[in-house]
Structure 1
Amino acid sequence: MNPADLSATLLAVVTRVLGRRGAEVAVGIGDVPLERPRNRDHGDWASNIAMKLAKPLGVAPRVLAEEIATELAATEGIAAVDVAGPGFINITLDAAAAGALARVIVEAGADYGRGDLYAGVTMNLEFVSANPTGPIHIGGVRWAAVGDSLARVFQSQGGLVTREYYFNDHGAQIDRFARSLIASWLGEPTPEDGYAGQYIEEIAARVVDAYPGELADIPDRAEVQEVFRSVGVEFMFGDIKKSLLDFGVAFDVYFHENELHESGAVEHAIDRLRELGAIYEADGATWFRSTDYGDDKDRVVIKSDGDAGYISGDLAYYLNKRERGFERNIIMLGADHHGYVRRLMAMTAAFGDTPYYNLEIMIGQLVNLVRDGVPQRMSKRAGTVVVLEDLVDAVGVDAARYALVRSSIDSQIDIDLDQWSRKTNDNPVFYVQYAHARTNAVARNAIAVGVDRSAFDAALLTHETESVLLGNLAEFPRVVRQAAELREPHRIARYSEELAGAYHRWYDSCRVAPQGDEPVTDLHRTRLWLNDATGVVLRNALALLGVSAPERM
């Protein structure tokens, strides 16, 4: 019996019990919690449904739990149901019911773990969005890994996801970039507020090579700067795109900030907010009345000199996303952006939307690369910061992605380059990938001696390590759903390591291929199903992280 079937069975029992009590309490499948007990002596599954329903029913939780348990125990496939403490329901499946999951997983293949949490919901996921003034620094790399993984997780739950990169090609930083390129071309010192590094020299040289004439012959310095600005940004952004693609991250939309200011989108957003009473004029400027919606101060939208205020782009961009039909809009920002949350939520409310639903802001903490215990602060290419290529060159794409996704975004992480480059079990990604490769090796060896999946008897999977492994496999759909709901793809990485550990322990205790002259039995065939089911889940989990699942290592 898989978790979905058990949830449906428990829901049916709860519904019947409530009906007998004449209770008018609506209960759906999402209201029936099932968890794996930490202590396996407490059974295969546990639920606190009775404790959740007791208060609205006006009954003691344990009394309600015992009613549910009595009826549930009579269900086929359930060996025992016990009530513990104030009303926990502990459920033990019989061996056949538990083991049947192996076949379910193999037959489901890539679909195992998928759900319908966000079925049909349009979702815009904006991440990375590094300024096109240099290579992607290590903080942006974290968002590349986490954002792409989260998009995969949302899609596994039915979400209609658009990955979007907000291209910051409007503002003073682009002018500083252009002046830095010109200084490199002329052999002058880097401007005090400019950008330095080998990449500046490379881009400047490419701009000169791409220009059809002689840049030195252009008398107007402003015209020269515009050439370096437009062509240089194009080259830099091309490099950024290639770096991300090489990292396994492809965006559906590259949205240019400049379009908001050139297309009239800013004026359109201001007009909409003015209709809603959220815009006023004062001191020659146009203001967003954001304090009415929870902000700490009102924000300038158009300055007195006619230039757009910083928030003007945010207003236009959010409205643009909503008018493109996105119900859920999620933006990933760096650790120094906490101050933006309140004003963006005020903006959401001013447009008549629901803060933290129509718009969510995720804040990620810093990443440090460490070698021999020493933080790596410099990049050969970027000069003052560590960038994507530095991490990939040191450990590879798979290890880089896994290391960046493995921890909660709320925590600062140190990536030990020595650990993540080793081909040993103390490297978490190697440990998980090796487990997957081992499932393939076991299958190849079994098939070579005549073991196939022509028979399946779930009741034969009685070894303690088989019970533990099946329990881990059963958890996968719940872990994926939680990762989507809580925006925490690191749960899938940690789960993968637990599953790999359970598999390795099973491998040490249970044989799939017979030894010597031992005949092939249905136990061997059934264990092959379990072996292959583990391979399916490891493969599905790694796919959600954007990490490869090698068949040989």
Structure 2
Amino acid sequence: MKERIRNLIHAGLRRCFDSGSLVSGQIPEQLTIEVPANPEHGDFATNVAMLMARAEKKAPRQIAEILVGELGDGEGFLERVEIAGPGFVNFFLSRRCWYRVLDEIHRQGSTYGRSGIGGGERVQVEFVSANPTGPLHIGHGRGAVVGDAVASVLEATGHRVEREYYINDAGNQVTLLGRSILCRAKELSGLQVDFPEDGYRGEYIRDVARALLAERQDVVELADDEAVEVCSRFGVRFLLDRIRDDLAEFGIRFDTWYSESSLYERNLVQTELAKLTEKGLTFERDGALWLRTTDHGDDKDRVLIRSDGSPTYFASDVAYHMEKFDRGFQRVIDVWGADHHGYVPRMKAMLAGLGRDPEALQILMIQMVNLLRGGEPVAMGKRSGQFVTLREVVDEVGRDACRFFFLTRRPDSQLDFDLELAKQQSNDNPVYYVQYAHARVCSVNRNAAEAGIALPTAGEVDFDRLEQEDELALAKLLQQYPEVLVAAARHLEPHRVIYYLQDLAAQFHSYYNRSRILVDDIATSRARLYLVNAVRIVLANALHLMGVSAPERM
């Protein structure tokens, strides 16, 4: 609708320029078309007259009057146009115009809302990337859903998206995992051992040790260094398989699983750091190699290679992100836990030093999840010993509720997740409330089929039968869905889709509770059936985009 109004304004201004009633010949690029806060001020309003005042050397209201005289009714699109305040132009659209969106929805079906505004931009979304040293917890789950939903809204708006999981399978934490597994394996073999003070203590380590002993009983007899290496390799593989299974159960897929150790195997860390040195971005001090991140806004320079020759975690992160752009991605989006906030300026400083736009790297910070049961904090997980696993939560409340709840707030704000609420079949449960709206329309369809009332197709509906204001309000809300997707993609905020779903479900339930869909008058029944099925299509499209099902019965 906004685009059509913009086209009407442009066409009207060109006619004004051709007639000489306006003389600047310039259409302001900054003109806005907004939905007024007060519905009495129209469906849309523009500030174009104010923007043209200086160039035209006329009062904004005078410019607005000239423009309105050239607009006409837009071939039935406009009911009327009014001038308000200092020169705002307010557009009131015809009811029939609003109902045309129903035809669009029925024609486009599952593709309604999608667009090509991304222009095929290549975007990588890297998310989860949990260390393969333990099971996924609910914090990882929130990051998984946010990353997946961001990728989905970008795909729906014409971007070429690749989802990537970065496997941290190198470094001290992997060695410590191996030592922890070896100690548990020795304990299970009846040997006395001193467990590492900073080792991984969750019960899952015993599970890994049992699986390892079933495959290699001799591991406890190997020399310590060899045994730790065997345990590390086995542990990473075992835990990564569990992570893959948990994510698949959660409806999360990746195009690429990228191994940190492969950076070293292909000598990419050394190769990429050499590029930084060639550009004069590194320096040596106290036997270590440093990156000059302070030249580009970081609070201090950062060590890449320690004085003993070992690379820091930052070194592999730098090489990894440099290589991302080497692969041809135009934009890279990382989903990180909030505790990694300090890494953002140094990563952007690295890109700036390379002459890249730092904004080509976008970081979404995920705040923690407070798990509740009936309003009370949940105790530790049954098996992890340290946290509640994602698998435990999904098994208890289901994938749909879990995914929906994780998206009900901005990712950079803390989230309270109440397990009991997520399981309720009531209007207090937001996912149930939205899914029930979809199921209700499906129930109406079954009743219509029994009554011999077929769902009409585009062009067969008498929109004059849709006389109620809540019917018009539904049509207006349905029209907003493509814009919601564009905004969600532009701002990387998939929670906008969830908010929209809740608004649409609320509007539908209100209409359904006040009005019978199937009435004695067949033409009215068909028009209402057409309207509510447009609601069903949009609900299903948005739910599926968020990885949530749209059930036909509940």
Instruction: State the TM-score bracket (shorter-chain normalisation).
Output: over 0.9
Q: CA deviation at 1:262?
A: 2.2
SS of the aligned residue for 1:146 comes to helix
Between 50-59 and 33-42, the greater mean CA deviation after superposition: 50-59
Change (3 A) 1:52 1:270: farther
- State, as a whole percentage, how many aligned pairs show the same letter: 41
The counterpart of 1:451, out of the listed 445, 450, 453, is 453
- 1:463 equivalent in structure 2: 468
The counterpart of 2:388, out of the listed 386, 389, 393, is 386
Q: Within 5 Å, which residues of 2 pair with 1:53-68? A: 54=53, 60-68=59-67
The one-letter amino acid of 1:303's match is R
SS of the aligned residue for 1:295 comes to coil
Q: CA deviation at 1:222?
A: 0.9
Q: CA deviation at 1:118?
A: 1.2
- 1:497 equivalent in structure 2: 502
Determine whether 1:421 maps to 2:423: yes
Determine whether 1:227 maps to 2:216: no
- 1:206 equivalent in structure 2: 211
Between 502-511 and 539-548, the greater mean CA deviation after superposition: 502-511
- 1:100 equivalent in structure 2: 100
The 8 Å contact of residues 15 and 70 in structure 2, kept in 1 or not, is answered as no
Give TM-score scaled by structure 1 length.
Answer: 0.93
The 8 Å contact of residues 374 and 421 in structure 2, kept in 1 or not, is answered as no
Would you say how many aligned residue pairs link Structure 1 and Structure 2? Answer: 543
Q: CA deviation at 1:359?
A: 0.8
Deviations 1:20-79 (A, max 9, x none): 534354656xx5544433433333333344455556666544444444444335322210
- 1:237 equivalent in structure 2: 240
- 1:403 equivalent in structure 2: 405
The one-letter amino acid of 1:474's match is Q
- Whole-angstrom CA distance in 2 between matches of 1:52 and 1:241: 55
The counterpart of 1:269, out of the listed 261, 264, 272, is 272
SS of the aligned residue for 1:163 comes to strand
Change (3 A) 1:488 1:53: farther
- Whole-angstrom CA distance in 1 between matches of 2:212 and 2:156: 43
Q: CA deviation at 1:353?
A: 0.4
Aligned-pair Cα RMSD in Å: 2.1
The counterpart of 2:493, out of the listed 484, 488, 492, is 488
Q: Within 5 Å, which residues of 2 pair with 1:79-90? A: 79-90=79-90
SS of the aligned residue for 2:335 comes to strand
Gap regions ≥5 residues in structure 2: 188-192
Q: CA deviation at 1:142?
A: 0.7
Determine whether 1:344 maps to 2:347: yes
Give TM-score scaled by structure 2 length.
Answer: 0.93
Determine whether 1:478 maps to 2:483: yes
Gap regions ≥5 residues in structure 1: none
SS of the aligned residue for 2:467 comes to coil
Change (3 A) 1:363 1:190: same
- 1:165 equivalent in structure 2: 165
Q: CA deviation at 1:235?
A: 0.5
The 8 Å contact of residues 305 and 311 in structure 2, kept in 1 or not, is answered as yes
- 2:71 equivalent in structure 1: 72
- 1:506 equivalent in structure 2: 511
Change (3 A) 1:196 1:66: farther
Q: Within 5 Å, which residues of 2 pair with 1:283-362? A: 283-356=286-359, 358-362=360-364
The 8 Å contact of residues 99 and 459 in structure 1, kept in 2 or not, is answered as no
Change (3 A) 1:189 1:431: farther
The one-letter amino acid of 1:475's match is Q
SS of the aligned residue for 1:438 comes to helix
- 2:42 equivalent in structure 1: 43
Change (3 A) 1:529 1:9: farther
- Whole-angstrom CA distance in 2 between matches of 1:71 and 1:392: 59
Q: CA deviation at 1:15?
A: 5.1
Change (3 A) 1:474 1:341: same
Between 386-395 and 474-483, the greater mean CA deviation after superposition: 386-395
The 8 Å contact of residues 95 and 461 in structure 1, kept in 2 or not, is answered as no
- 2:190 equivalent in structure 1: none
Deviations 1:325-384 (A, max 9, x none): 10000111111112111101101111110011x111111211111113221241112111
- Whole-angstrom CA distance in 2 between matches of 1:55 and 1:418: 60
Change (3 A) 1:50 1:157: farther
The 8 Å contact of residues 443 and 531 in structure 1, kept in 2 or not, is answered as no
